Every structure is written in C-alpha cells, then in structure tokens.
Structure 1
Amino acid sequence: MFLGTYTPKLDDKGRLTLPAKFRDDLRGGLMITKGQDHCLYVFTREAFGEMAAKIASAPLTNEAARAFQRNLFAGTDEQNPDAQGRIAITPELRRYAGLTKDCVVIGAFTRAEIWDAQAWADYQQRHEDDYAKAQEEVLPGLI
C-alpha cells in the first residue's frame, strides 16, 4: 500500500531515491510507466502483471485498445532499486513527465506516482475544489 507525499531530488544521472516507506514493497523490482496527467506510475511487478493481463485481454480488433497497449507497454521500464533505494528513470519517461530536479512522489494506494514538483503543485491547484465533489461521486454516503 502506497500512501503519503515525498519530495526527492532527481540527480544528474536521472536517478531518483524512492521513499523509505515504499522500499520494502518495491524491493522485488518494479515497473515504471507513463501515467495519466503526465506523471509516472510505479507498480510492483505483481500488480503490473495483474493489470497487464487485463489490458492484454482486450480484443486486437479494437483500435483504441491496441493504441493503449502499444503506449503502455512500449513506455514501461523494469527497474530494481539499488542499495540506496535509487531507480534510474529513462530519458523518455523523464521527458514524458517533464521531470526536473525537484520531484514529488505520492502514494496512490495501489501504485506510487512520480511528478515534477511544479506540475504536482499546478495539478493540486487546478483540482483542489474538485476534491469534495469527487468524494461525493466516488464515495456516496460512505464518509
């Protein structure tokens, strides 16, 4: 389970130190892929495999499914954190997410997300008022 917000720096070699709280879950390896809203998703290998099996079961005759599969799988990188908990983010994934030195890693329960710090701040600003409305739509009567 991934929770919380952390602010690691991207080093000159494109490496990012994962939050200490996430390292045990990701010790066996992880998958980094393009996420929505120009962030990166980080999944455990197991979680990515389960998701990938569902996505791969979409019919090849569906053009949107083929396009999604191509983008997802071609843009995915498998990583093993080093002894310091660092992962190397490929230039293509850094470009996609617009990553600069200042990054934010958030826990999104089933995955972690890596954001450029300014992009995360902008996203939060744009969606701050949507939070209460989304809560009513996603969790009606539960909270």
Structure 2
Amino acid sequence: MSVRFVGTYTPRLDDKGRLTLPAKFRDALAGGVMVTRGQDRSLSVYRAEEFDAIAERTMAASRNDPEARAFQRYFFASTDEQRPDGQGRITLSGEHRTYAGLSKECVVIGGFDHLEIWDAQAWRDYQSQHEEDFSAAGSAALDSLL
C-alpha cells in the first residue's frame, strides 16, 4: 500500500537550511526525496518513486509543444534530490528557501501523494484567503456524491 501524506506539521528551519520531515513519514521517505517548486510559492516533496512517475507523464507530452517544453524545463531545473539524514532532516537549497519565502517557522502539509513546505505566515494567509473556496468546493463535492 502506498503512503498517504496527510496532516499538518510545524517544524522549524535551522540555521543551515535543514528542515525535519514529519516523523510518521520518515520510513517512507528514507529512500530519498525530490524537492521542487510547488504551487503558490510552496515547495513540493515527492518520494523518488512518485517523482519518477510524474516525470514519465511529463516527458510523454509532445516536445513540439512550447508550453510542455517550458514546463519540463522549469520543473526539472527547480528539482533537488535529497536523502534525509538520520534525524529525518533535508537541506533546502537557498534558491528553494527564497522561492518559498521560508523563515524559521515552517508548515509541512500533506498533499496525499506528496508533502508541501510553506512559510508559516504564508500558509496562514493562504488559508484565510481560500476558506470560502474550500467550503464551496466541499459543498459541491458532497452534492455530486449524493
């Protein structure tokens, strides 16, 4: 069975740019992770196997399509391979920390097939801005199931 990344965690970024991944996921992530720019100024953390599956789907897009090429370049160029240390820490590059605006206080959220790393204040702002969207989407999803 695959790992389900769910929940919210609040690790701190240390002075060396290291972030401790949630303890409950350490075994699943021990084989290595791929850290890349995510959506909305967050970072996405994928298990190497999941990243490879995404890469295959991405590469299946036509090389004749300028938008597909641009996405491929951006996605792969912004990816960093990491292996968590014995304490479950990964080192986030300066480029990644700058892109996501990370301060000491971070939030790691589950995205089901990946984790997202957010600056704590940016995550609070995002939640405030999108609470109504979440409620509306939830209501629509429930209505479609009933």
What residue is the counterpart of 1:11 in the other structure? 14
- The code of the aligned residue for 2:53 comes to E
Unaligned runs of 5+ in 2: none
Unaligned runs of 5+ in 1: none
Q: Shift of the alpha carbon at 1:57? A: 1.0
Q: Could you tell me how far apart the structure 2 residues matched to 1:122 and 1:28 are?
A: 33
What residue is the counterpart of 1:83 in the other structure? 86
Q: How does 1:105-124 map to 2 (within 5 A)?
A: 105-124=108-127
What residue is the counterpart of 1:33 in the other structure? 36
Q: Which moved more, 1:33-42 or 1:127-136?
A: 127-136
Q: Could you tell me how far apart the structure 1 residues matched to 2:112 and 2:143 are?
A: 20
**What's the C-alpha RMSD, in Å, of the aligned pairs?**
1.2
TM score, norm. by length of structure 2 = 0.94
- The code of the aligned residue for 1:40 comes to L
TM score, norm. by length of structure 1 = 0.96
Q: Could you tell me how far apart the structure 2 residues matched to 1:26 and 1:7 are?
A: 18
Q: Could you tell me how far apart the structure 2 residues matched to 1:142 and 1:14 are?
A: 44
- The code of the aligned residue for 1:4 comes to G
Match of 1:64 among 67, 88, 107: 67
Same amino acid, percent of matched pairs: 58
Q: Shift of the alpha carbon at 1:48? A: 0.3
Q: How does 1:94-133 map to 2 (within 5 A)?
A: 94-133=97-136
Q: Shift of the alpha carbon at 1:139? A: 5.4
Q: Shift of the alpha carbon at 1:123? A: 0.3
Structure 1 segments, 4+ long, off by >3 Å, are 136-140
